[in-house]
Structure 1
Amino acid sequence: MSSKDSLTPDPSGGEHHMSTEHSDESTAQSTDAAQVAQAQEVTARELEKLQLSGKFDHNTDVERLEAISPHPPGDQVDRMVVAGGMIKSASLWAIRLVVIGFFLYLLGEIIGSFWQGILPVVLSLIVCTVLAPIASTLRKFKVPSALAAIISLLLFVFIAGGIFSFVAPDFARQSQSLYLQAVEGIQRLQLWAQGPPLELNASDIGKYVDEIANWIQQQAGSIAGSFISGVGTATSVVITLVVMTVMTFFFLKDGHKFLPWIRQATSRRAGWHLTEALTRGWNSLGGYIRAQALVSLIDAVFIGAGLYIIGVPLAMTLAIITFVAGFIPLVGAIVAGALSVLIALVSLGFTEALIVLGLVLLVQQLEGNVLSPWLQSKAMNLHPVIVLISVTVGGALFNLIGAFLAVPAAAMIAVFYRYIQDMLQLQSGEKKASDIEFATVAGYLAGRYNEAQGAHRRKLLSELPENVQSPAVASAISDVNNDGVGDALEQLVDVDATPNNTAANQAKGKIEQARDFFEHLLDPRDRDR
C-alpha cells in the first residue's frame, strides 16, 4: 500500500443534507483536508528522527522522504500566483519588522529618559536574587516577612563590611612600603630600559612614561565617565544606593506575594502565563548571578594562590579584589589583573611581574573564553557566542553599566522568547505539555490549556469543507481561541456566506461547537472577562 493510501481516512462519516453529487464532493473535500492534517502529523513525527542537516543523496533519499511528506490534493497553479503570494507575505513581514524596530527604538528612548529611576529597580532585583533564598528560608521557620528581610539585608551588609575591614588594614599596613618599592621599581625599570636590547635614553623613557601616565588617566576618566553616565553625579549615587536599599527591603518582604497578586489582578489564564514567564525569568537571573559568583570565586582562588606562591605582597587582598571585580564584565578583570602585576613589579621585580602577568592572562583567558561562557550558558540556556555578543554590544551602547547588565537582559529576552515559542508549539501540535519542562504548576496548566486549544482548532480546520477553508475562517477560529466568539461569528458572515450557503452554515456550526467547548473548559470568571 502506498503512503498516500495508508494515510487516507474513512470518508463514511461525512454526511450532508444535500444532493448526492454535492454530498460526494463535500465528503471528498473533507477527506482531502483530513488527509493533509494526518499527513502533516506523520511528517512532524517522522522528521524528528531525521538528521535534517545531513547531506542529501538524491538517489536514496527522495523515495524515503516522499513517503513521509504530505501530498496536498489539488491541481497545479500558475507560478506567478505563487510568486505573488510570496511577495505579499514578504511585504507583510517587512512591515512587521519595521514596526518591531520602531517599537524597540521607542523603548530604548523611554528607558534612556527614565534610566535614573529604572537603575535602582534593576540593581535591587539583582541583589534580591542573592538574598531572596535567605529570606525565604527564614519565613519557613515562621520568621515574619519584615524581620526576614531586615536580617537578610543586615547579613549582606555585615559580609560586605567584613570583606572591607579585612582588606583595608592589610592594605594600609603595606601601603607605605609599596610606595617606596614602586619608586624603586620605576627607577630599576628605567635602568633596564637604557640597556640592551632597548637602549633607550633618559628623555625617551620620560616621554614614554608620560604617555603611559596620560593613557592611564584617560582610561580612568573613561571608566569614571561611563559609571557617572550610568548613575549620575555623586548625589545621584547616594540617592540610587538609598532607593536600591529601600526597594530591596520591600522586594524581600513582599516579593513572594507578587505572583499571587498578579493572578488575582488578571484573568486566570493570563495569570498562569505571567506566573510561568516571570518565574522563568527570575530563575534565569538568579542563575546568572550564581554563575558569575562561581566564576569570580574560581578566578580569585587561582590568582590568589599563584600570587601567594610567587610571594607577592597582599596576595589575599588582591584575591578579594579579583573576586569583587569579577562582577564587572571586561573592565573588572583588567583592573584587578593590572593591579596584581603592578604590585609584583614594584615589590619583587620585573621577572616576577612577567610571571604574574602570564598567570593573570592564563586564568582570564580560560575564564573568559571557556569557563564563563560555559557556566553562563548552562545557567541561562544561552549559547556562549550570545553571551559574548551581549557583553560587547551592551558595553558599546551603554558603557560599563551596559556591559554589566547585558547578559541578564539577554537572558530575560531569551526566556520570554522561548516561552512564546513553547506556547506556539503547543498550539500547532509540535509538542505536548508533558514534553515541556515548566517552572510552575500554573505554567503546566497554561500549557495544557494551549494544547487543548490547538487540538480543537486543528480539528475544526481539518473538518471544514475546502470552499470555506479561507484565511477569514482561520482568523475566525483564532478569535474563538481568544474567547471572541461573537466577533468570530460576525466575521464568518463576510466569507461569501448567504443563508442558503450550506458550506457556510456548516462552518458556523463548527464555530458554535468551539464556543461550547471553550465555555465548558474555562472558569466562569474567565468567561466574563
Structure 2
Amino acid sequence: MGARLNATRTRTALRTSARVSFDLLLVLLLTWVVLWLLGRAWSIIWPIVIALLITTLTWPVARFLRRRRWRPALAASVVTLAFLLVVGGVVALIAVPVASESGELADGVVAGIDKLREWVAGPPLNIDEAQISGALDSAVSRVQDSMGSIASAAVTGVGTVVNGVVTAVLALFLMFFLLKDGPRFLPWLGRQLPGRLADDVPAVAARCWATLGSFVRSQAFVGLLDAVFIGLGLWILGVPLVLPLAVLTFVGAFVPIVGALFAGFVAVLIALVFNGLTTALIVLAIIIVVQQLEGNVFQPMLQSRGLGLHAAVVLLAVTLGGNLAGIAGALLAVPVAAMIAVVWNYVREQLSDPPPEPAAGTETETGTT
C-alpha cells in the first residue's frame, strides 16, 4: 500500500514538473519571438526610445509653460526650439575652442610623433631610422592592399551617419508630438482597452513614465559629477580646452562605455600633446578613478534610489544589457529593468488580498460619532 502511494506521488510530481517545464519553455519561446520582432522593428523603436528619453528631460519646462496657460502646440514648439539651441550651443562650445587651437594641436601632434621616434631610437629599444622607415613603408603597403575593405567600411560609415541623422530628425518630431499631445495619450489609451485593462494599463504606463524620468535625471546628475571632477582635475594640471573637455565628458555620460572611453581618450591625448607624458598619465589616473567611482558608487546609488532598484541589480542589468545588445543594450538596461520592476510591483499589488472591511457595528459606531 505504501509503495503504491509513493509511486502515485512520484507520478504526480513528475507530471507537475513536466507541466511547469512546458510552461517555462512557452514563456521562453514567447520572449524570443518578442525580441525577434523588436529587432526587426528596431529602426522604428529606436527613434521612439530616444524621443521618450529626451521628452522626459524637457517635459518639466513644457509643463511649466502649459500651467501658465500657454497653448500645447506653442509650448511644445518653444521647448523643441530651445532644446535645439542648447544642443547647438553645446556643439559650438566644443567645436569653437578646438578649432581655435587646431593649429597648435596639429603642431603638438607632430612634435609628439617626433619625440616618440626619438624615444624608440634610443635605449632600451635602439630601433634605427631604417627599421622605422621600413615599418612605415610596410604599413603603407598594407593600407594600399586593403583599399577595397577601407572603401566598403567608409561606405558603411556613411550609411550609419545617414541613418543616425534620420533617426535624430524622426526623434525630434516625435518629441514635439509627445510634448504637445502626451497628456492626452493615457486617457485615449484607456478608452481603447476593454474591461479592467482600461484602468490597469494607463496606471502602469504612468508609473513607467515617472520611472523613466527619474532615470534620465539621475543619469544627467552622474554626468554632471563626472564633468565637474574631471574638469577640475584638468584645470589644476593646466591642461588646455578644459571647458570643451568637461562638456564632452557630460555628454558622453549618456552613452555608456563608449562615451566615457571616447571622452577620456580625448582628454588624455590633449594632455599628452600640450603638457607631456607625465601630465597625460596623471589625467588618465584621474579619469580612471572618477569613472570607477561613477560606475561602482555614484551611478548605482543614485539610480537605485530613483528607480527603486538595488545597486547590485543596476550593475548586473548594465552588464547583461551590454552583453546582449552592445551600447544600446547598456543604455536601455537600467530603465527596462526598472519598468519590469514597476510592472511586477503593480501585479503584486493587484493580486494581494484586499484589506479587510470594517465590521458593520464599527461602521455604525463611527457614523454615529
Q: 1:287 to 1:198 in 2, by over 3 A?
A: farther
**What SS does the aligned partner of 1:313 have?**
coil
User: Is structure 2 residue 292 aligned with structure 1 residue 365?
Assistant: yes
The letter for the 2-side match of 1:270 is L
Question: Would you say the 8 A contact 1:326–1:332 is kept in 2?
Answer: yes
Q: 1:100 to 1:205 in 2, by over 3 A?
A: farther
Q: CA RMSD in A?
A: 3.1
Q: 1:93 to 1:154 in 2, by over 3 A?
A: same
Measured in 1, the distance between the counterparts of 2:63 and 2:293 equals 35
Measured in 1, the distance between the counterparts of 2:46 and 2:236 equals 41
Q: 1:193 to 1:376 in 2, by over 3 A?
A: farther
Measured in 2, the distance between the counterparts of 1:356 and 1:92 equals 59
Q: 1:385 to 1:196 in 2, by over 3 A?
A: farther
Question: Would you say the 8 A contact 1:132–1:252 is kept in 2?
Answer: yes
* 1:249 aligned partner: 176
Q: Percent identity?
A: 39
Measured in 2, the distance between the counterparts of 1:368 and 1:190 equals 37
**What SS does the aligned partner of 1:148 have?**
helix
* 2:95 aligned partner: 168
**What SS does the aligned partner of 1:328 have?**
coil
**What SS does the aligned partner of 2:240 have?**
coil
* 1:332 aligned partner: 259
The TM-score with structure 1 as length reference comes to 0.60
User: Is structure 2 residue 313 aligned with structure 1 residue 380?
Assistant: no
Which deviations, in whole Å up to 9, do the C-alpha atoms of 1:222-263 show, x marking residues without a partner?
A: xxx8xx79x964443333222212111111111101112223
The letter for the 2-side match of 1:264 is R
Measured in 1, the distance between the counterparts of 2:304 and 2:205 equals 19
* 2:229 aligned partner: 302
* 2:145 aligned partner: none
Measured in 2, the distance between the counterparts of 1:233 and 1:173 equals 29
The letter for the 1-side match of 2:22 is I
Q: 1:157 to 1:352 in 2, by over 3 A?
A: same
The letter for the 1-side match of 2:277 is F
* 1:90 aligned partner: 17
Aligned length in residues: 345
Determine which of 309, 316, 323 is the counterpart of 2:250: 323
Gaps of 5+ in 2: 143-148, 358-369
The letter for the 1-side match of 2:350 is M
Measured in 2, the distance between the counterparts of 1:394 and 1:132 equals 27
Q: Which has the higher contact order (CA 8 A, sep 6+)?
A: 2
* 1:354 aligned partner: 281
More helix by share: 2
* 1:104 aligned partner: 31
The letter for the 2-side match of 1:310 is L
User: Is structure 2 residue 330 aligned with structure 1 residue 403?
Assistant: yes
Measured in 1, the distance between the counterparts of 2:186 and 2:9 equals 48
User: Is structure 2 residue 257 aligned with structure 1 residue 313?
Assistant: no
1:337 Cα deviation (Å)? 0.5
The TM-score with structure 2 as length reference comes to 0.84
* 1:412 aligned partner: 339
1:56-455 aligned at under 5 Å gives the runs 78-196=5-123, 203=131, 233-267=160-194, 269-424=196-351, 426=352, 429=353, 451=354
Measured in 2, the distance between the counterparts of 1:265 and 1:382 equals 32
1:183 Cα deviation (Å)? 1.2
Q: 1:279 to 1:349 in 2, by over 3 A?
A: same
Q: Which stretch shifts more, 261-270 or 94-103?
A: 261-270
Q: 1:85 to 1:200 in 2, by over 3 A?
A: farther
The letter for the 2-side match of 1:337 is G
Q: 1:353 to 1:234 in 2, by over 3 A?
A: closer
Measured in 1, the distance between the counterparts of 2:343 and 2:126 equals 61
